Structure 1
Amino acid sequence: MTKKQENIINAALQLFAQEGYTATSTNKVAKLAGVSEGLIFRHFTNKEGLLKAIIEEGERKVLTLFETIFKETEPKKIIQKTITLPFLIPNEELEFWKLQFKLKWELNHNNSNKLKPLQEKLIHSFKTLNYQNPELEAAYVLTFLEGLSTAIIKGTLTNRTEFQDFLIYKYQL
């Protein structure tokens, strides 16, 4: 990806997060990125193509975050790594993830398949640890993590370390 393409994506990311996807024009993105609007069309075809590039980048980042969990074989460590995942979001990436969540809500975009491998890994871990209902445990953890991630991204969870310690203790990890 060229520097100009990165600038375009970063500008779109910033504007989509602040103003919403539908309220942001490609002209506004071009101005913030310091490029011509035609360059956006050349690289991304249209606003939808730009949005698609941002969503694909989010899905790549999610898979990168999941890699350490997928490589893990110890059930307790799988659960621990999954539970602590939202706490690993660097502050400089909060805007990026805020946009991913905002797009999911604003455009009703949700690729449920991206969580399927993680859900299956959790189910297997809970089964191995003899939890009574591993499917519901996995669903609970993933649903809880979405809310937790939202609180972290929005900045409403102020006691992150204490909360993380609580979750590790709760699951005896």
Structure 2
Amino acid sequence: MTDKKKQILAVALELFANDGFNGTSTSKIAKEAGVSEGLIFRHFEHKNGLLNALVQQAVERIRLLIEPILIETDPKKVIQKSIDLPFALPESEYPFWKLQFKLKWENDYEQDKMRPFIEKLTWAFSNLGYIQARKEAEVLNHIIESISIGILREGRKSQEGLKEFILRKYLK
């Protein structure tokens, strides 16, 4: 990937995260990135192509983040690692993850990328004797998403108490 293409993606990420996808024009991205609008179209064809490139980065980052959970064989560790997940995100990546949450509301965001994660949580809860393992997995996933949003808005420390509460709740 060329430096210019990286610069365009970095600026688009920041602007999409702050102003939303629909609130950001390609001309604004070009201006902030110090490139011509034509270069954006040459690399990405259109604004949706630029967004798709960022979403593909998200798919890969999510895969890397959840891989240790997916290969875990101890159900309690699956739950612990899942709860720890949002606390492991580097602050430097917060704009990237803010964009991912915004996209859930602005576009046809695919939820399928989290399916393996929810299936692994279901497996863990089932192995721990939960009768409604799938529902528990979905509830924990929603809690983790809420904690993630809290971290992105207010910082890691703002959610530490919830983390401890949830760890005690599920890993007594």
Q: TM-score, normalised by structure 2?
A: 0.93
C-alpha distance in structure 1 between counterparts of 2:123 and 2:73, whole Å: 10
Q: Residues 49 and 27 (structure 1 numbering): CA distance in 2 closer, same or farther, change over 3 Å?
A: same
Deviation at 1:98, TM superposition (A): 0.5
TM alignment of 1:122-133, pairs within 5 A:
122-133=121-132
Task: Look up the match of 1:150.
Answer: 149
Task: Look up the match of 1:118.
Answer: 117
Aligned residue pair count: 172
Q: TM-score, normalised by structure 1?
A: 0.92
* 1:105-125 C-alpha deviation (Å, 9 max, x unpaired): 122x32121111111111111
C-alpha distance in structure 2 between counterparts of 1:34 and 1:24, whole Å: 16
Give SS of 1:73's match.
coil
Deviation at 1:61, TM superposition (A): 0.8
* 1:30-56 C-alpha deviation (Å, 9 max, x unpaired): 111111111111110111100111111
Task: Look up the match of 1:105.
Answer: 105
Task: Look up the match of 1:167.
Answer: 166
Task: Look up the match of 1:40.
Answer: 40
* 1:104-149 C-alpha deviation (Å, 9 max, x unpaired): 1122x32121111111111111111111211111111111111111
Task: Look up the match of 2:11.
Answer: 11
Give SS of 1:132's match.
coil
Unaligned ranges ≥5, structure 2: none
Deviation at 1:157, TM superposition (A): 6.3
TM alignment of 1:41-80, pairs within 5 A:
41-80=41-80
C-alpha distance in structure 2 between counterparts of 1:160 and 1:147, whole Å: 10
* 1:43-83 C-alpha deviation (Å, 9 max, x unpaired): 10111100111111111111110111011111110111111
User: Which contiguous aligned blocks of 4+ residues in structure 1 show a shift greater than 6 angstroms?
Assistant: none
Task: Look up the match of 1:140.
Answer: 139
Root-mean-square deviation (CA, aligned residues, Å) is 1.5
Unaligned ranges ≥5, structure 1: none
Identical residues among aligned pairs (%): 45
Deviation at 1:10, TM superposition (A): 0.7
C-alpha distance in structure 1 between counterparts of 2:121 and 2:144, whole Å: 13
Contact 2:7 2:33 in 1 (8 A): yes
Contact 2:83 2:144 in 1 (8 A): yes
Give SS of 2:171's match.
coil
Deviates more, 1:160-169 or 1:40-49: 160-169
Give the aligned residue type for 2:153.
Answer: K
Give the aligned residue type for 2:170.
Answer: Y
